[in-house]
Amino acid sequence: MTTIYVDNIAPNLQSKISAPNLTLPTGSVIQVVHRTSSDVYSGNVSGSQIQASSNSWVSGGTESELTITPKFANSYILLTAVINTDNAGTDYRAMYTFFKSVNNGSYTNVTPNNSNNYDALARVHDTGERIIIGQEMQFYDAISSTQTHRYRVYVRNQNANQLARMRNDIIPLKFTAMEIAG
């Protein structure tokens, strides 16, 4: 084994991480992908907001999507998103999560149902009137391939016939994925 000492890492490190026997210490950040969505969502939305009026998951389409192609199959992807939530009325319960598609496959929820049958990473429940608040979500995804991974932010109501939104007109969705060495 050869040891290489590095005093200065080249700005173009990403293209250098393709060496066949390269190993990085566990926890090293390999790459970071970030996006801030525009004012207007695409897909199942009403202008500048993703709006869920049932207890089915709703996405903002490609405006709520982030794409990362892992360098290593045994990496982890750390996802973070900052969203502006808007519960439209008293005692409304909005839920938020990430969905994932690998190699252009179907999108599936990254969160399994917990003991309360919630399949979300974040939940906003107002007990008074309407609430508009910033919300952050995180998820640590253990991956098993170097195929393209697409992640989207989704919203739904916990109960049917309520209204929950992710507002993009006040604070745009900020979405980050970090590949971390396993």
| Domain 30-180: top CATH class | mainly beta
Q: Give the integer Cα–Cα distance in Å for 166 and 156.
A: 10
- Beta-strand (E) ranges in 37-121? 45-46, 49-52, 58-59, 65-68, 76-87, 93-102, 108-109
Q: What is the pLDDT of residues 95-112, one digit of tens each?
A: 889 999 999 999 999 988
Local confidence band at 19 (pLDDT 50, 70, 90 cut-offs): low
Rg (CA), the chain: 19
**CB 154 within 8 Å of CB 166:** no
**CB 19 within 8 Å of CB 61:** no
Sorted by where each begins, the domain ranges of the chain are: 30-180
Q: Give the integer Cα–Cα distance in Å for 57 and 25.
A: 38
Which of the residue ranges 27-41, 46-60, 62-76 would you say has the lowest mean pLDDT? 46-60
Residue 42 is predicted with a pLDDT of 59
Residue 18 scores a pLDDT above 60? no
Q: What is the pLDDT of residues 34-59, one digit of tens each?
A: 998 876 665 555 667 777 777 888 88
